[in-house]
């Protein structure tokens, strides 16, 4: 009886963590795009002196980057699961990442200033469509690599059923045949596709882009340790920009066989 209660509690915890993530994901769209439904947005009238606002924003981005990277490392996971159930590890990571983002959104300080603005209607529509495509690509990429495993729901569901967790096999479905990190490519589009680039937006885009490029190196190091075949995949498929009009080495080898 106690074991079922424990498994049910872990499952409920995983579901709540996922719902908080999903709400944060939706809020992120409004925050970056300055949409009316978001109480706090990326841009706005400065509330603090420039250097004070800049320091707060840099600190908030740094906190998220450290949390997001540190908790994803295998060594931290091995230590962390001494204190929490292994089945809830991914849900806890998702929850902490969501809370770090919500803290960033709550205390973010606009800097003011405009770097560029595009008045042309067609140009604004193209950038708006690119922004929307970026978010769609992010979500689509999570589905390709098992959305529910990525955000912890598969782990807590298997635990609820009393089944052991099995790691996913390394696969390269859909967009992963074109680039190794379509999810990160989507984030780049979300951060940079804007008709009005303010100093605030530029700070956010530059710092998150630097973080993504650093995170890719850490993630690929872990992937090569976990999946020996990833080394060949890394040599054959570009990181972020697809080679349109050029067949990949994988496709040529399949045709030759």
Report CA 132 to chain centroid distance, whole Å.
15
Tracing tokens 């595009």 back to the chain, one arrives at 118
CA–CA dist 102, 57 (Å, integer): 13
Mean pLDDT of 197-206: 95
The number of helices, as runs of H, and strands, as runs of E, in the chain is: 11, 2
How many domains, in total, are found in the chain? Answer: 1
Among 6-20, 151-165, 234-248, which stretch is predicted with the lowest mean pLDDT? 234-248
Report the pLDDT value the prediction gives residue 204, as an integer from 0 to 100: 95
Give the Å distances, CA to CA, from 226 to 67, 178, 201, 220: 22, 22, 36, 10
Report the pLDDT value the prediction gives residue 253, as an integer from 0 to 100: 52
Give the Å distances, CA to CA, from 11 to 79, 85, 92, 182, 232: 22, 11, 12, 29, 37
* Other beta carbons within 10 Å of 227: 14
At 19 the three-state DSSP class reads helix
Could you list the residue range(s) of the whole structural domain that residue 154 is in?
2-256
Q: For residue 197, what are the β-bridge partners?
A: 116
Mean pLDDT of 208-234: 91
Mean pLDDT of 145-153: 92
pTM over 0.75: yes
H/E stretch holding 29 reads: helix 2-33
Label residue 257 by pLDDT band (50, 70, 90). Answer: very low
Mean pLDDT of 194-218: 94
Report the pLDDT value the prediction gives residue 92, as an integer from 0 to 100: 94
CA atoms within 13 A on the CB side of 58: 7
At 197 the three-state DSSP class reads strand
Six token digits for residue 124: 């604004």
Cα dihedral 218, 222, 228, 233 sign: negative
Strand duo 196-198 + 114-117: pairing: antiparallel
């Amino acid at each position: 009886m106690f074991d079922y209660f424990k498994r049910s509690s872990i499952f409920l915890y995983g579901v709540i963590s996922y719902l908080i993530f999903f709400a944060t994901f939706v809020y992120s769209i409004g925050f970056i795009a300055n949409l009316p439904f978001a109480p706090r947005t990326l841009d706005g009238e400065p509330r603090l002196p420039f250097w004070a606002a800049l320091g707060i924003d840099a600190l908030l981005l740094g906190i998220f980057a450290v949390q997001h990277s540190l908790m994803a490392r295998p060594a931290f996971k091995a230590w962390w699961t001494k204190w929490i159930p292994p089945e809830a590890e991914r849900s806890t990571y998702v929850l902490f990442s969501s809370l770090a983002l919500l803290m960033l959104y709550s205390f973010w300080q606009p800097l003011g200033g405009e770097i560029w603005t595009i008045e042309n209607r067609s140009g604004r529509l193209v950038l708006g469509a690119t922004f929307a495509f970026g978010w769609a690509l992010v979500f689509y990429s999570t589905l390709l690599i098992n959305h529910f495993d990525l955000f912890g729901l598969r782990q807590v569901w298997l635990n609820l059923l009393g089944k052991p967790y099995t790691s996913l096999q390394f696969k390269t479905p859909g967009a992963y045949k074109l680039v190794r990190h379509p999810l990160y490519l989507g984030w780049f589009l979300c951060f940079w596709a804007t008709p009005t680039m303010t100093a605030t937006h530029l700070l956010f885009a530059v710092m998150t882009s630097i973080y993504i490029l650093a995170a890719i190196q850490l993630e690929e190091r872990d992937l090569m340790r976990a999946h020996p075949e990833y080394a060949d995949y890394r040599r054959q498929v570009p990181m972020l920009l697809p080679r349109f009009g050029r067949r990949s080495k994988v496709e040529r080898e399949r045709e030759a066989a």
